A and B are shown apart, each in its own frame.
Chain A
Amino acid sequence: MKNCSRRLVSAVVFLSVFCSGVASAAEDQIRVMNPRGIMPAIQQIPMAERPGALDGKTIYIVDTKFANTKPFVNALRDNLAAAYPKTTWIGVDKVGGYMQDDPNLWAEIKAKGHGAIVLLGH
């Protein structure tokens, strides 16, 4: 009987501690609103098929004209020409700064070229 009472007291103490812990944890939980905006869906653009070989092809090297990068751009053209002499490598400058579009150049590349390398950065 004595043991039974002791177990009963322990169970009550345990339950009360457990329940107060649960209540406290539940009280501590808060719900907040999402601070983020709405991202647009992305329209995927199929990439242009590659030719499988570059011999006899013309590739434009388009310099977007970041400051003081010309030696690298010229070195790229020279290294490609030396390593892949059966391909024609044409170096061109895009008009304006690097943020400006150049539809005439893109039209020329589409008409006369088979590919392009567009570079570079700081």
Chain B
Amino acid sequence: MPTVAMVTSAFDELATSTAYKKGMPGLRVTFTPHPITGRTTEESNEYLKGKDPITGNPMLEEIIAGLRDKLAEKDKHAGTIEREERPRFLPSDTADNLQQMFHDKLWTDGLPIILPTEEKVKAMLKGTSHAPDEVVGEMRPSGPHEAWKFTVEMVAVNAVMAGARPEYLPVLLAIASTGQTSLVSSTSSFARMAVINGPIRDQIQMNSSIGALGPFNQANSAIGRAWTLISKNLGGSGMPGSTYLGSTGNPLNYGNMTFPEAEENLPEGWEPLHVQKGFKKDESVVSIFSGWSFNTIAWFSPLPQQDVIKNWLTHFFSFGTGSATIIVDPIVAVELKNNGFATKQQFADYLIEKSANPGWLYWSTHEEEYKKAKEDVEPFASYLKLGETAEVPVSRYVKRPPRGAPAGTPPRNPIEVLAVGGGTNTYWSGGDFSHVGSVSIDKWR
């Protein structure tokens, strides 16, 4: 079917590179000025009378030509386009030149790397029993993008670059095996989080105590950093304009919030995350989370902690409005346990049930209910009378299967609770992160 794609000019590189990778390099694309969002009819008419800002052709004529005019022979080709050859080694050069070349090609996070010599990679590979040429998996920047494949050795190369030690390699292979990039290609500037549970936390000396979420531990930092490099270099992610589109970017992408849960300091009855997800306590597991933002809350209130957190959740607003992860210091966990929450899930269920919605947020995400409220259908009509600054007593955290999941998929837990920290004060953090999946690290030892 003759087709013309219309895309705003900010995405020209994305559109043309995607057309190429999908096998249609000659796809007819007409670009509009950017942004189109919020333009009036009059502004739209002006745009349409003008020129494609990328090609300079009159916009309507270009569309018509794309639908009507006979194709060039090259557009009718079928067959395979082979990609550039991937040599195992790069051409020799000085350390300084290589360091700069890695930066110039956007293979780093902008900070100096450890150059991955064969000796260093060999040493790194001693961290796993798996063969260097074993395929670990595939990774892509987001659903519509192509997936790149990678081996154990390729993960080890990136682990060296990030400053990881060989004993961290099973964690990195487990993360890479999930196929989850840490640099999701979306204009909304996603962030990712990796939570490590089980014996490996101590074996590689990760920090779950004071400053666990900060830059104070080699394993926490290097594993998080390596995930970014793996995402860029093995997952085809992180090329601004084509495979990374986050408008502002996200500072959490540097270290990807990588930390171990403070399992030993959980109150009795509060299970570590990996046990909640069906693993045995003595298994080592990494769990991947996805979201956008985190708040660190250092605040005292006469209210009990559960209500401070509940009220914060009600008014917390970010791109993700249906999921949350609460990270409490272990001494907050003990306080919550003493306040009657025998398990993490009981506390999560309390938040799911009791948190509400600010009126303005509720109505902007509930179009059907708004129509009913306008038709005096209860309880929506009463909610509307409360006004947009009041709380609507409906939680935005709902247990339901993930979007697009096959029938019979169990409901997703919309609120996760984790414990980490050194107990220096009764503080906690919260954000819009949701659990993506958990995988075994032991499998990659």
Contact = CB atoms under 8 A, between A and B. Distances in A.
Given A42-B81, A71-B40, A115-B67, A37 B6 contact: no
A54 B64 contact: yes
Contact of B10 (A29, A31, A52, A122): A122
B82 A41 contact: yes
B24 A44 contact: yes
B154 interface: yes
B87 interface: yes
A95 interface: no
A31 B102 CA distance: 13
B3 A38 contact: no
A99 B147 CA distance: 17
Interface string A88-116: 00000000000100000000011001111
A121 B8 contact: yes
Contacts of A38: 86, 148-150
A101 B153 CA distance: 37
Contacts of B8: 120-122
Nearest to A106: B1
Nearest to B72: A47
Interface residues of A, number: 54
Nearest to B149: A38
Interface string B59-77: 0100110011111000111
Contact of A42 (B83, B90, B148): B83
B117 A31 contact: yes
| Shortest Cβ-Cβ A-B pairs, 3 listed | A119-B6, A75-B44, A37-B234
Contact of A79 (B10, B22, B48, B94): B48
Contact of A45 (B23, B115, B235): B23
B21 interface: yes
A62 to B, nearest CB: 9
Contacts of B5: 117-119
Nearest to B61: A83
B115 A37 contact: no
Contacts of B235: 37
Contacts of B27: 47
A95 B406 CA distance: 18
Interface stretch (B28-36, B194-202, B335-343): B28-36
